[in-house]
Amino acid sequence: MNIQEFEAQLKADNFDEINLIEKPIGYVMGEHQHPFDACALITKGDFTLVVGGVSTTYGVGDIFRLSAQTPHHENAVPNGVTYLAGRKHQVSA
47 contacts 76 by C-beta, under 8 angstroms: yes
Task: Identify the domain containing residue 29 by its residue range.
Answer: 3-89
Does pTM surpass 0.85?
yes
pLDDT tens, 57-87?
A: 999 999 999 999 999 999 999 999 999 999 9
Three-class secondary structure of residue 57 per DSSP: strand
Calculate the CA 2 to chain-centre distance. Answer: 16
Residue 28: how many CB atoms within 10 A of its CB?
11
Task: Tell me how many domains the chain contains.
Answer: 1
pLDDT at position 92, please?
63
Domain containing residue 31: CATH number = 2.60.120.10
Residue 46: how many other CB atoms lie within 10 Å: 18
